[in-house]
């Protein structure tokens, strides 16, 4: 039998439809259901509920987000018969999967998954029971074929008047917040209402910004790596790391006339300490969202770092000498073990560098912020190599320091000067700590001094073995006991002075009222921030600009965790400070001007001039 040409395609299409229908039988469909039982909410208060999705055996649907591979992300659409000022859907994490023939991985759900839904009924919604409709759209795949699937669930939601007694939402909200973030939707422009509902961070994350920054954009990974090397090299000259770098220079001086092998090992270990610390920071950035300088928001980190630097200063004054085990043999110098010492100082130099953001570093970190983990590691590694570069060169070419005079009394004086620099660094770390535990930290340093004094007195190598062991035990007891007394027993007073605060409510109001918002992202632990504040933001020309009625200057202080400010900075593509955002009103709101790192008066003026174009003059 001969078919006409025009009849072949309809016949094949019909056969495919019949085959697909046979594969996806009536029982092989998605089933969605309510996991939260009776759903209740209160006018003007956030509520949460969960839905379950059962997937037929042998099939899967794509997760949300689905990943870079081919497929269609599962989507949940909501239809509320009442006004909801805010809503957000959060999906469970999927499992990694690559289908045959695809070139990239996707994430999928098998057997069963669930989604959380948060909503905020308007305070004007009448009390009563409403029918909420949820539609789940997915691509159901299995046995070599995929078919679109769409299921609908309708269930009642009871809205109670304000003040009504309803079941606590805390356990459900905690579970909801533990799920990966979704894309929040706001149906209200009332920023005050959003603040009162606790959804401001979600609102900030939902905004889309496309900052206009003066630096040229990074074109790709190779350029980011090259800039990272240069930025890392410049970090050596930042005030944060100068004390530890000075110690390294002292170490080179002390060993300049020793064997090349000693110089080589010591220099390589110092460089390895730097690079290792950067790889740790890369791990934190790639998998936990670490932002440059964020360690200095952590109270425990500041306490440990301050105590460590203070103890290093005491060692420069010969209060104590670290004893090394006998099995280290020839690796031990007569005075101290220079090899572990070099590695540790390299790591400390990196950690002390994190409050600093030198030229080129901010733009490089901003580019790598949203890149895959492999690229994050590559860029952080390049910054570490750049910072270690001077010491690698000196290690490879020891002839460069052959003109340094031989060690003698002058090196002892220089060492004591380095001790004073370390003391100054410890004072700086105390100064940048949160006021709520600043005096506690000072008191703890007394115990650090006491512990290492007795260790130097009774634990030195010229003492007997029993004396050294008892002294080491006493060191641990004094430090642990001092920590407990300083931070748990002593009364804590939190009476910190409040700076002119950043407020997203004001930013949104300025957007609507034709006012430029200027936001200075800063922290007490950031010396470069203090530098630009003194030399740029307190310049007479800038102060005159900021005094205008159509410019609103705010300070976003992230000395300690500040979720709203950090969410806004992250949303503008920055992960380091100093960072100044100049946000125009009206149509220019989504394209703010930004300046970062060590910026100038001219940069700020250019940002203001750019933003002025979006101010609508009266009468126009």
CA-closest candidate to residue 386, choices 598, 255, 238, 286:
238
CA distances from residue 236 to 114, 358, 415, 558 in whole angstroms, order as listed: 50, 9, 19, 24
CA distances from residue 36 to 134, 137, 154, 184, 534 in whole angstroms, order as listed: 14, 21, 14, 21, 55
Over the stretch 558-602, which tens digit does the pLDDT of each residue have? 887 788 888 888 888 787 788 899 999 988 898 999 888 778 888
Contact 118, 176 (CB under 8 A): yes
Confidence tier at 308 by pLDDT (50, 70, 90): confident
d(CA 181, CA 567): 13
Overall residue count recorded for the chain in this entry: 620
Per the listing, tokens 């009394």 go with 409
Is the pLDDT reported for residue 291 higher than 80? no
pTM of the predicted model over 0.75:
no
3-state secondary structure string across 269-296: HHHHHHHHHHHHHHHHHHHHCCCCCHHH
CA torsion angle for 539, 541, 547, 553 (degrees, to 10)? -60
Per the listing, tokens 């006018």 go with 43
d(CA 464, CA 323): 13
Rounded mean pLDDT of 149-168?
85
Point out the least confidently predicted range of 26-30, 167-171, 179-183, 585-589: 26-30
Per the listing, tokens 């001219």 go with 602
Please name the residues in contact with 377: beta carbons below 8 A apart, sequence gap of 6 or more: 279, 282, 283, 286
Radius of gyration of the chain from its Cα atoms, rounded to whole angstroms:
31
- Give the percent of the chain with pLDDT over 90: 12
The average confidence (pLDDT) of the chain is 78
d(CA 522, CA 503): 14
Strand partners, 343: none
Per the listing, tokens 């029918």 go with 131
CA distances from residue 243 to 240, 273, 385, 408, 420 in whole angstroms, order as listed: 8, 16, 20, 21, 9
Rounded mean pLDDT of 3-14?
53
Q: What is the DSSP letter of 370?
A: T
Confidence tier at 51 by pLDDT (50, 70, 90): very high
Q: Output the DSSP codes for 389-441.
A: HHHHHHHH-GGGGTTSPPSSHHHHHHHHHHHHHHHHHHHHHHHHS-TTTHHHH
Rounded mean pLDDT of 289-315?
77
Contact 361, 576 (CB under 8 A): yes
3-class DSSP state for residue 51? strand
Strand partners, 77: 135
The residue with greater pLDDT, 176 or 490, is: 176
Contact 378, 221 (CB under 8 A): yes
Give the N- to C-terminal CA distance of the chain in Å, as an integer. 77
Please name the residues in contact with 446: beta carbons below 8 A apart, sequence gap of 6 or more: 482
Contact 405, 394 (CB under 8 A): no
The helix or strand, by DSSP H or E, that contains position 108, with its residue range, turns out to be strand 106-110
3-class DSSP state for residue 154? strand
Q: What is the DSSP letter of 112?
A: E
The residue with greater pLDDT, 84 or 260, is: 84
Beta-carbon neighbour count of residue 584 at 10 Å?
Answer: 26
The residue with greater pLDDT, 575 or 135, is: 135
Point out the least confidently predicted range of 113-117, 363-367, 528-532, 608-612: 363-367
Helix/strand number for the chain, H first, E second: 19, 16
Q: What is the DSSP letter of 487?
A: I
- State residue 327's pLDDT score: 31
Confidence tier at 197 by pLDDT (50, 70, 90): low
CA torsion angle for 359, 362, 363, 366 (degrees, to 10)? 170
Point out the least confidently predicted range of 8-12, 157-161, 265-269, 497-501: 497-501
Axis crossing angle, helix 409-432 with helix 438-458, rounded to the nearest 10: 150
3-state secondary structure string across 509-558: HHHHHCCEEEEEEECCCCHHHHHHHHHHHCCHHHHHHHCCCCEEEEEEEC
Q: Which is it for the CA torsion 459, 465, 470, 473, positive or negative?
A: positive
d(CA 253, CA 240): 22
Contact 444, 488 (CB under 8 A): no
CA-closest candidate to residue 82, choices 140, 143, 41:
41
Is the pLDDT reported for residue 272 higher than 90? no
d(CA 265, CA 233): 21
Choose from 1-15, 356-370, 445-459 the range with maximum mean pLDDT: 445-459
Over the stretch 325-362, which tens digit does the pLDDT of each residue have? 333 333 333 444 567 777 877 777 777 666 666 666 77
Q: What is the DSSP letter of 54?
A: E
3-class DSSP state for residue 4? coil
Domains contained in the chain, CATH given:
25-162 (2.60.40.1250), 221-433 (no CATH), 504-612 (3.40.30.10)
CA distances from residue 504 to 191, 264, 566, 614, 620 in whole angstroms, order as listed: 8, 53, 12, 19, 28
d(CA 541, CA 602): 10
CA torsion angle for 444, 449, 455, 456 (degrees, to 10)? 170
The residue with greater pLDDT, 189 or 46, is: 46
């Amino acid at each position: 039998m001969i078919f006409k040409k025009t009849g072949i395609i309809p016949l094949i299409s019909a056969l495919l439809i019949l085959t697909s229908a046979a594969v996806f039988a009536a029982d092989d469909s998605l089933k969605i259901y309510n996991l939260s039982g009776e759903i209740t909410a209160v006018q003007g208060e956030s509520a949460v509920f969960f839905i379950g999705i059962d997937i037929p055996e042998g099939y899967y649907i794509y997760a949300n987000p689905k990943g870079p591979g081919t497929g269609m992300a599962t989507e949940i659409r909501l239809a509320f018969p009442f006004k909801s000022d805010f809503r957000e859907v959060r999906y469970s994490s999927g499992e990694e999967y690559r289908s045959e023939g695809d070139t990239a991985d996707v994430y999928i759900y098998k057997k069963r998954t669930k989604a959380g839904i948060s909503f905020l009924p308007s305070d004007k919604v009448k009390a009563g029971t409403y029918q909420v409709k949820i539609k789940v759209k997915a691509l159901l795949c299995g046995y070599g074929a995929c078919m679109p699937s769409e299921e609908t669930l309708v269930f009642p939601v009871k809205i109670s008047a304000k003040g009504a007694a309803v079941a606590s939402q805390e356990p459900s909200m905690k579970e909801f917040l533990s799920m990966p973030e979704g894309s929040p939707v706001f149906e209200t422009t009332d920023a005050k209402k959003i603040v009162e509902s606790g959804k401001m961070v979600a609102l900030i994350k939902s905004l889309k910004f496309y900052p206009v920054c003066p630096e040229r954009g990074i074109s790709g990974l190779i350029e980011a790596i090259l800039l990272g090397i240069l930025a890392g090299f410049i970090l050596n000259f930042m005030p944060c790391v100068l004390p530890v770098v000075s110690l390294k220079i002292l170490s080179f001086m002390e060993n300049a006339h020793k064997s090349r092998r000693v110089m080589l090992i010591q220099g390589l270990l110092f460089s390895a300490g730097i690079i290792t610390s950067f790889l740790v920071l890369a791990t934190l950035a790639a998998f936990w969202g670490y932002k440059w300088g964020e360690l200095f928001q952590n109270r425990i980190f500041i306490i440990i770092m301050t105590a460590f630097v203070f103890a290093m200063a005491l060692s420069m004054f010969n209060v104590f000498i670290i004893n090394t085990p006998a099995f280290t043999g020839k690796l031990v110098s007569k005075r101290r073990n220079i090899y572990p010492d070099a590695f540790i100082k390299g790591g400390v130099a990196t950690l002390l560098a994190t409050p600093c953001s030198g030229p080129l570093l901010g733009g490089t970190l901003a580019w790598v912020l949203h890149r895959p983990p492999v690229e994050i590691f590559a860029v952080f590694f390049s910054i570490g190599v750049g910072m270690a570069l001077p010491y690698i060169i000196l290690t490879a070419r020891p002839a460069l320091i052959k003109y340094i005079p031989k060690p003698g009394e002058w090196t002892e004086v220089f060492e004591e000067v380095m001790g004073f620099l370390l003391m100054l660094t410890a004072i700086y770390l105390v100064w940048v700590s949160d006021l709520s535990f600043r005096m506690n930290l000072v008191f703890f340093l007394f115990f650090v001094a006491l512990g290492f004094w007795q260790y130097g007195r009774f634990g030195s190598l010229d003492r007997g073995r029993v004396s050294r062991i008892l002294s080491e035990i006493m060191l641990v007891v004094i430090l642990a006991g001092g920590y407990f007394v300083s931070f748990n027993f002593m009364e804590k007073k939190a009476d910190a002075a409040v700076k002119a605060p950043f407020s997203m409510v004001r930013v949104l109001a300025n957007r609507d009222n034709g006012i430029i918002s200027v936001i200075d992202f800063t922290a007490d632990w950031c010396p470069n921030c203090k530098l630009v504040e003194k030399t740029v933001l307190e310049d007479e020309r800038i102060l005159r600009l900021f005094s205008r009625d159509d410019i609103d200057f705010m300070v976003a202080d992230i000395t300690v965790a500040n979720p709203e400010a950090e969410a806004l900075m992250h949303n503008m593509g920055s992960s380091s400070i100093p960072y100044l955002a100049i946000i125009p009103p009206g149509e220019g709101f989504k394209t703010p001007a930004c300046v970062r790192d060590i910026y100038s008066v001219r940069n700020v003026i250019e940002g203001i001039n750019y933003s002025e174009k979006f101010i609508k003059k009266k009468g126009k």
